[in-house]
Amino acid sequence: MGLGTVRRTALVTGAAGFLGSHLCDRLLEEGFEVVGLDNLMTGDLINLDAAGRHPHFHFEIGDVREKLPVYAELVFNFACPASPIHYQHDPYATLTTSVLGAQRLIEMARGRNCTIVHASTSEVYGDPLVHPQPESYWGNVNPIGERSCYDEGKRCAETLLHDAYRRWRVDARIVRIFNTYGPRMAFDDGRVVSSFITQALMGQPLTVFGDGSQSRSFCYVDDLIEGLLRVAFVNAFEGPVNLGNPGELTIQDLAGLVRELTETNLPIVRRGLPEDDPKKRQPDITKARQLLNFEPVIDIREGLKRTILNFQARLLEIANQRQRGLQFTPVVSLDSSPLRSLLDAFPGYLELVSSCGDAHRIGNRMVAAEGMIGVSEALGVIHRAVAQATQAAPERKELRAVEQRLCQVIAELSDAQAAQDGVRLADLLEHEALPVLRRCRTECQV
């Protein structure tokens, strides 16, 4: 970038996720000032390790459903849990993130010179009756099934964005992203590529759902990111566009390929096919080829090799850290986070945030590592102080109310701990414990 040139700003929502973080890296390479936004529901700060060291990257913990804290002329909307186990865990959050997120972005962009590249999905086609799927196909989606919160949320977001384009000429560019894989996928997101690779590297049987004859078409992440940038920069864009790699294979064949490339001969175990699991999926990318000159270049073998290397390196790093008793320290600041108050309130919580950077995984880690012990002790100390304050001033009814609420929260936390429900534990800490602790502070000066 030459002297006197001004950097363009791009906002990436869902920046700490798999695709969001790769996008941030690429936009920084392209010379953008990048603002990453994420509520860390499923994203992980470790994905922003490289971006976080870049002088032109800025991170905000925030929720796309709320008023956006920044304006940018280019927005990539990637905020939404995207793997089936993540999006089904909190269907309400999944659907509202898609729909309210689209609404907030339209409010920001309307009347301004702003381009929105919106991450939609091949899930809008549901269990497709047309194969491969062109953009003109309307889909076959169950409105009340296990996957509906994601599918229908994404469909509704497309409707909102397309209406905003039709009525107000908001430059909303909808991209239907097909199965994408690559480095940084979460080990535990339940997706087929990450699951098979993690299982193979850990010497566990590969879990094939159903008879394995269902098919998917997998796109390597770098190819997808290239396509997304082309979408952002092409002059004329109208209607949704599919992005993905049309190379299709069955899940059984994928399992075979992962075994071959990891040089393992692990057994395959069959599990039940999840509800509404699409039988076939393959993008028709004619439109992307014509409009964007888009062509995926990394085939499944090469892409899997690169992904396996990345998974191996990350697993090794975790093992080394465990041995050395070290933990990952995120470079992006947590200062602006609502979690910050929790960090202050609970000794031991900071360590947990530092080690995984993800509220839900923090809960699971707490359950696994008995991290709740520190938190329970802290809550016990706080409770004793509140009880003393209540006894000293029995006329202050609000103190008694705070004490009772604190007791309830402690009981609920211990139930979640006993049930080994890490996700519930994290939700309780953030949404129940934090407000009552704030009241302890303001009303009892604890």
Dihedral angle over CA of 137, 140, 145, 151, nearest 10 = 0
Among 204, 207, 250, 376, binds ligand UDP (CB under 6 A): 207
Of all helices (H) and strands (E), which one includes residue 59? Answer: strand 57-61
CB of 120 to ligand UDP, least distance (A): 13
d(CA 47, CA 21): 6
CA angle at residue 399 from 398 to 401, to 5 degrees? 65
Query: With contacts defined by CB under 6 A, how many residues of the chain interact with ligand UDP?
Result: 15
Name the one range near ligand UDP by CB under 6 A: 2-10, 133-141, 184-192, 320-328.
184-192
Give kind and range of the element (H or E) at residue 9: strand 9-13
CA angle 310, 37, 359 (to 5 degrees): 70
Q: Which stretch binds ligand UDP (CB under 6 A): 66-74, 186-194, 238-246, 386-394?
A: 186-194
Containing H/E element for 117? strand 115-121
Under rule CB under 6 A, residue 208 binds ligand UDP: yes
355 binds ligand UDP, rule: CB under 6 A:
no
* Two tokens, residue 178: 């097909």
125 belongs to the catalytic site: no
176 touches ligand UDP (CB under 6 A): no
Tokens representing 144 are 């009340």
Per-residue binder mask for ligand UDP (CB under 6 A), 58-87, x = binder: --------------------------x---
Q: Does 406 bind ligand UDP (CB under 6 A)?
A: no
Q: Which is nearer to ligand UDP, 276 or 443 (CB)?
A: 276
Which residue from 37, 170, 201, 251 is in contact with ligand UDP, where contact means CB under 6 A? 251
Phi, psi of 197 (to 5 degrees): -65, -45
Residue 179 lies near ligand UDP (rule: CB under 6 A)? yes
In the complex, least distance from residue 195 CB atom to ligand UDP, rounded to whole angstroms: 4
Shortest gap between Cβ of 282 and ligand UDP (angstroms)? 11
The residue range among 33-41, 106-114, 190-198, 432-440 that interacts with ligand UDP, by the rule CB under 6 A, is 190-198
Give the binding range for ligand UDP (CB under 6 A) out of 157-165, 188-196, 259-267, 381-389: 188-196
Would you mind telling me the total number of residues written for the chain in this entry? 446
Judged by CB, which is closer to ligand UDP: 234, or 273? Answer: 273
Output the six-digit token pair for 377: 């002790």
Cis status of the peptide bond prior to 132, with omega within 30 of 0: yes
Q: Which stretch binds ligand UDP (CB under 6 A): 18-26, 204-212, 352-360, 412-420?
A: 204-212
CA–CA distance, 50 with 35 (Å, rounded to integer): 14
Residue 13 binding ligand UDP, by CB under 6 A: no
- 191 belongs to the binding site for ligand UDP (CB under 6 A): yes
184 by Cβ neighbours in 10 Å (0-12 / 13-18 / 19+) ranks as buried
CB count, 10 Å around CB of 393? Answer: 13
| Distance separating alpha carbons of residues 355 and 48, to the nearest angstrom | 14
Among 94, 195, 282, 364, binds ligand UDP (CB under 6 A): 195
CB atoms within 10 A of CB 379: 24
**Contacts of ligand UDP in 124-163 (CB under 6 A):** none
Query: Among residues 214, 282, 355, 364, which is the contact residue for ligand UDP, using CB under 6 A?
Result: 214
Using CB under 6 A, which of 91, 274, 338, 348 touches ligand UDP?
Answer: 274
Strand, coil or helix: what is 224? helix
Tell me the CA distances in angstroms from 115 to 60, 227, 290, 405, one per residue in order: 20, 16, 21, 46
Out of 30, 248, 277, 421, the residue judged to bind ligand UDP by CB under 6 A:
277
* H/E segment holding residue 256: helix 251-261
Which residue is catalytic, options 87, 125, 150, 165?
150
CB closer to ligand UDP, 208 vs 292: 208
For residues 23 and 4, give the distance between their C-alpha atoms in angstroms, rounded to a whole number.
26
Q: Which is nearer to ligand UDP, 1 or 144 (CB)?
A: 144
Nearest to ligand UDP of 33, 277 (CB atom): 277
Residue 192 touching ligand UDP (CB under 6 A): yes
Measured CA to CA, the distance from residue 11 to residue 18 in angstroms comes to: 16
* DSSP character string of 66-95: SPPS---SEEEE--S--SHHHHHHSHHHHH
Tell me which residues are annotated as active site.
150
Binding site for ligand UDP (CB under 6 A): 84, 179, 190-192, 195, 207-209, 214, 216, 251, 273-274, 277
